[in-house]
Amino acid sequence: MRAVGVIVEYNPFHNGHAFHLQASLKAAQADVVIAVMSGNFLQRGEPALVSKWQRTKMALLNGVDIVFELPYRFATQNAETFANGAVSILAAAGCQYLCFGSESGEIEAFQQTIHFFESQQDSHKKNIKHFMGSGVSYPKALALSYKQLSNSDNYLDLSRPNNILGFHYIKAIHEQRSQITPLTVARKNADYHDEHFASETIASATSIRKALFADINSPSEINQYVPEPTRQLLHEYLNQYGLYHRWENYWPFLQLRLLHSSPEELKEIYEAEEGLENRLQHAATEARSFQEFMERIKTKRYTWTRLQRLCVHILTNSKKINMEGSKRAGYLRLLGMSERGQEYLNKMKKEFALPLVAKLSSFKDEEINLDLKAARVYAMGVPGPAKKFLMEQEFKQPPIIIKK
Amino acid sequence: MRAVGVIVEYNPFHNGHAFHLQASLKAAQADVVIAVMSGNFLQRGEPALVSKWQRTKMALLNGVDIVFELPYRFATQNAETFANGAVSILAAAGCQYLCFGSESGEIEAFQQTIHFFESQQDSHKKNIKHFMGSGVSYPKALALSYKQLSNSDNYLDLSRPNNILGFHYIKAIHEQRSQITPLTVARKNADYHDEHFASETIASATSIRKALFADINSPSEINQYVPEPTRQLLHEYLNQYGLYHRWENYWPFLQLRLLHSSPEELKEIYEAEEGLENRLQHAATEARSFQEFMERIKTKRYTWTRLQRLCVHILTNSKKINMEGSKRAGYLRLLGMSERGQEYLNKMKKEFALPLVAKLSSFKDEEINLDLKAARVYAMGVPGPAKKFLMEQEFKQPPIIIKK
């Protein structure tokens, strides 16, 4: 059976994702689609709108055959680490292809960019050091250096988030000497971070979340941008838990953590940097919301995303010592499957390069403990008695099976 | 000027406290009453109903002349440590007398009990070890040993909380070689932990709190047991902050802290003991409320109070290393004063044995940082925007002055 891998967050699953899935199947001529999906906390350093279990259902009802969780150690990370974890999972699960969305839909520009970087490594490193010395963030320095060195239309526009991710997927494939063939399909017209609706059927997840929060009880505005199962599953989640998760739900917890910790303790947190801890602690005594907190701590040097990721690590108490480790994942955590996905697993699992984890209790591991902790912390966002159900789900929920 | 000291929590100030104040003034023939009062977290390991500032107002409006805060390092502690801190403050502030409430109102029994313990030290230590080996708590072992050794009506009934406190006050005076003369007055008839109203005007603070929480918006049931200023100040606090503080307000914070910490981190918390951390963490994943949590962790070995104090230390992240130190307080934190109190301070402060701290920002000290942290954590119990005011009060509030 031929499998194509996709790397996703589905926050929430929308029509653009459905288009990407169909295009990926077609491009790879594949029998099954395997998704590596972020768990409850996402690459941008935010809690997912709804739990990974609900998003797994969205994925399966919309055509994904297998959903593996991208472990916390990789999910809430910069593009490079995120890509390394995700690619290692797809490779271990026997995917021949990885298909990602990009602006152009042309894989050559990615390949050329990789080769270009390899040939210009020394100048590039020097450049990045120089630009960061002037006080800009790492991604900004990367883009500036690249612009200066490349100076040609053959190369990627690395200021586009999807291009950066694609670039790192291919780089990870190279570095891991993986047999995966990378493919890319052109994205339909919605900018990654677009906050407004621009097309009739395609909208960014950002704009969909914005519309959802604008009027949480009548989300009809999003209907034309998401498939029916997404609509239903969002509705069901809101009924069960009374909210869609967002940072403000976790703000009091973050605030307390900052107020009762010593600077020394905060320094141990992953991504904490010298001097930042005092800034965070001071802002925590002043700010009345997460939004206000972020505005107080933001500087030119650190991107909003970078700071949000640090906040997630503070919230989950993930330390440098917990997050260190291999660039590759250590297990395949199965969140759900279609019947075809089940067939694929039955046929292929003996050849998987990593242990397949269908039940949390059957697998003891430092890395998976971070996922368990993240799930528990995520559940703390729910104020009522449903919190307990969400917390226990991490242990009790068997992989979700959807019969098509 | 002659000063009598009292050691109090005023949670809230009631008619029994008013009686004790008048009786203390009279017994000592004193000009001023100086109260050492627990801050926002109390000896039983609970948040105070209302902030220390509001309770300071209660104290001053009801006849206290000076209120010093009993620092966190002593307030949320067993009777012995609590007494040592409080006595050291009264001594440093020049009190000639300490007057406490007791069941009998006779000081001789306390003195005799101290002497008795001193003469029986070795047998007593052996006994305690023996009883604790059989699995009972320390206070229980203390009482059992004492009962076995004393066997006479001349000695105190140490199963009564007020007697235990009084015993430790006098012991602290002895051990600190203080010049303070201890006095005691008989308490009016309400048992320390009584949950029901038994008299017309005197009720325990426990029963008053119970009545308050039973119907938070119409507290008329308590009117006959508290002086008018208490009634008004409680009402004012409820209006401003929307709640009276109790453990359930802090439960989600405690729960998260237990869920995201490693057992190694929990072991560093003050009063944490080997093996208890796993028990706490497991209960945190199961319990839906603080009450349920406590019922799950309770054992014969640990008293409810002892466990609640541990929970306060987890909440405030107070570690063994933070709580170590001298048996005596390091400063006199002035929370408020009457005009007469002000006069006393002006006359006497040059002779004070400890620095007088009227403004938090003017005094840098490890021990007072614990008070600041406790005040901030306490403010986290307030859900709305008033939280910020309460949090900032710790820094901005000058000592309260009440003109009589």
The 3 state secondary structure assigned to chain A is: CCEEEEEECCCCCCHHHHHHHHHHHHHHCCCEEEEEEECCECCCCCECCCCHHHHHHHHHHCCCCEEEEECHHHHCCCHHHHHHHHHHHHHHCCCCEEEEEECCCCHHHHHHHHHHHHHCHHHHHHHHHHHHHCCCCHHHHHHHHHHHHHCCCCCCCCCCHHHHHHHHHHHHHHHCCCCCEEEEEECCCCCCCCCCCCCCCCCCHHHHHHHHHHCCCCHHHHHHHCCHHHHHHHHHHHHHHCCCCCHHHHHHHHHHHHHHCCHHHHHCECCCCCCHHHHHHHHHHHCCCHHHHHHHHCCCCCCHHHHHHHHHHHHHCCEHHHHCCCCCCCCEEEEEEEHHHHHHHHHHHHHCCCCEECCHHHCCCHHHHHHHHHHHHHHCCCCCCHHHHHHHHHHHCCCEEECC
Is A239 an 8 Å CB contact of chain B? no
In a domain, B222, yes or no: yes
**pLDDT recorded at residue A193:** 59
**CB spacing of B373 vs A259 below 8 angstroms:** yes
Using the 3D structure, point to which of B306, B322, B338 is the last residue of a domain: B322
Using the 3D structure, point to which of B295, B322, B349 is the last residue of a domain: B322
Q: Would you say A9 is a known binding-site residue?
A: yes
Is A19 an 8 Å CB contact of chain B? no
CA pair distance A275, B179, nearest whole angstrom:
49
Q: Would you say B11 is a known binding-site residue?
A: yes
Residue of B nearest to A322 (CA): B262
Residues of B (274-293) whose Cβ lies below 8 Å from A:
285-286, 288
User: Which CATH number belongs to the domain containing residue B195 in this structure?
Assistant: 3.40.50
Is B373 an 8 Å CB contact of chain A? yes
Q: How far apart are the first and last CA of chain B?
A: 18
Cis peptide before B12 (omega within 30 of 0): yes
Q: Chain A interface, mutation test: which of B40, B257, B285, B292, most A Cβ atoms within 10 Å?
A: B285
Each residue's pLDDT tens digit, B353-376: 999 999 988 888 889 999 999 999
The per-residue b/e assignment along B102-114, b for 16 or more CB within 10 angstroms, e otherwise, is bbbeebebbebbb
Residues B213, B357 within the same domain: yes
Residues B259, B237 within the same domain: no
**pLDDT recorded at residue A299:** 87
Q: Would you say A313 is a known binding-site residue?
A: no
Q: Which of A184, A187, A183 is nearest to A203 (CA)?
A: A187
Q: Which residues of A touch B256 (CB under 8 A)?
A: 253, 377, 380
Residues A203, A333 within the same domain: yes
**CB spacing of A256 vs B377 below 8 angstroms:** yes
Residues B8, B91 within the same domain: yes
Q: Closest Cα of chain A to B238: distance in Å?
A: 20
Q: Closest Cα of chain B to A264: distance in Å?
A: 13
Q: Which residues of B touch A392 (CB under 8 A)?
A: 285
Cis peptide before B227 (omega within 30 of 0): no
Q: Which residues of A touch B253 (CB under 8 A)?
A: 252-253, 256
Helix (H, G, I), strand (E, B) or coil at B401: strand
**CB spacing of B260 vs A377 below 8 angstroms:** yes
Q: Would you say A101 is a known binding-site residue?
A: yes
In a domain, A159, yes or no: no
In a domain, A213, yes or no: yes
In a domain, A51, yes or no: yes
Segments in chain A below pLDDT 50: none
Is A385 an 8 Å CB contact of chain B? yes
Q: Would you say A196 is a known binding-site residue?
A: no
Residues B239, B357 within the same domain: yes
Residues B202, B224 within the same domain: yes
- The amino acid sitting at A227 is P
Q: Which residues of B touch A288 (CB under 8 A)?
A: 385, 387-388
Q: How many domains is chain B partitioned into structurally? A: 3
Q: Which residues of A touch B286 (CB under 8 A)?
A: 388
**pLDDT recorded at residue B194:** 58
What does DSSP assign to residue B355?
A: -
Q: Chain B interface, mutation test: which of A258, A259, A268, A311, most B Cβ atoms within 10 Å?
A: A259
What does DSSP assign to residue B153?
A: T
**CB spacing of B380 vs A256 below 8 angstroms:** yes
**CB spacing of B256 vs A392 below 8 angstroms:** no
Residues A338, A308 within the same domain: no
The answer to whether residues A174 and A114 touch, using CB atoms and an 8 Å cutoff, is yes
Q: Which residues of B touch A252 (CB under 8 A)?
A: 252-253, 380, 383
Q: Which residues of B touch A268 (CB under 8 A)?
A: none
Q: Closest Cα of chain A to B244: distance in Å?
A: 18
How big is chain B, counted in residues? 404
Strand partners of residue A186: A102
Q: Which residues contact A24 (CB under 8 A, 6 or more apart)?
A: A4, A6, A30, A33, A97, A99, A183, A185
Q: Would you say B287 is a known binding-site residue?
A: no
What does DSSP assign to residue B93?
A: T
Read off the pLDDT of each residue in B379-392 and give the average, rounded to a whole number: 94
> Which run of H or of E encompasses B97?
strand B97-102
The answer to whether residues B371 and B333 touch, using CB atoms and an 8 Å cutoff, is yes
**CB spacing of B252 vs A253 below 8 angstroms:** yes
Q: Which of A42, A98, A31 is nearest to A247 (CA)?
A: A42
In a domain, A73, yes or no: yes
Q: Which of B112, B105, B114, B36 is nearest to B75 (CA)?
A: B36
Report the 10 Å Cβ neighbour count for B353.
12
Is B384 an 8 Å CB contact of chain A? no
Q: Closest Cα of chain B to A212: distance in Å?
A: 24
Read off the pLDDT of each residue in B316-345 and give the average, rounded to a whole number: 96
Provide the domain limits for residue B193: 3-103+185-245+325-402
* Most confident stretch, A19-28, B144-153, B217-226: A19-28
Residues A256, A222 within the same domain: no
Q: Chain B interface, mutation test: which of A285, A291, A315, most B Cβ atoms within 10 Å?
A: A285
Is B252 an 8 Å CB contact of chain A? yes
Residues A212, A81 within the same domain: yes
Each residue's pLDDT tens digit, A353-384: 999 999 988 888 889 999 999 999 999 999 88
Q: Over chain B, what is the mean pLDDT? A: 92
Residues A251, A397 within the same domain: no
Q: Which residues of B touch A391 (CB under 8 A)?
A: 285
Strand partners of residue A400: A336
The answer to whether residues B337 and B399 touch, using CB atoms and an 8 Å cutoff, is yes
Residue B400: pLDDT over 60: yes
Residue of B nearest to A312 (CA): B260
**CB spacing of B256 vs A380 below 8 angstroms:** yes
Is B258 an 8 Å CB contact of chain A? no
Q: Which residues of B touch A388 (CB under 8 A)?
A: 286, 288
Residues A202, A279 within the same domain: no
Residue of A nearest to B392 (CA): A285
Residue of A nearest to B252 (CA): A380
Each residue's pLDDT tens digit, A93-119: 999 999 999 888 889 988 888 888 888
In a domain, A137, yes or no: no
Phi and psi at B7, nearest 5°, equal: -120, 120
Query: Between B259, B262, B315, which is nearest A376 by CB?
Result: B259
Each residue's pLDDT tens digit, A168-181: 999 999 999 999 99
Query: Between A260, A373, A385, which is nearest B377 by CB?
Result: A260
Residues B57, B99 within the same domain: yes
In a domain, A82, yes or no: yes
Q: Which of A291, A244, A376 is nearest to B252 (CA)?
A: A376
Q: Chain A interface, mutation test: which of B259, B282, B361, most A Cβ atoms within 10 Å?
A: B259
Residue B85: pLDDT over 80: yes
Q: What is the ipTM of this complex?
A: 0.91
Is B253 an 8 Å CB contact of chain A? yes
Q: Which residues of B touch A256 (CB under 8 A)?
A: 253, 377, 380
Strand partners of residue B183: B99
Using the 3D structure, point to which of A280, A298, A322 is the last residue of a domain: A322
Q: Would you say A10 is a known binding-site residue?
A: yes
Query: Between B252, B373, B377, which is nearest A380 by CB?
Result: B252
In a domain, B164, yes or no: no
- How far is residue A45 from each of residues A246, A296, B96, measured CA to CA in Å? 11, 17, 60
Q: Would you say A237 is a known binding-site residue?
A: no
Give the number of beta-carbon pairs within 8 Å between A and B.
Answer: 56
Is A373 an 8 Å CB contact of chain B? yes
Is A321 an 8 Å CB contact of chain B? no
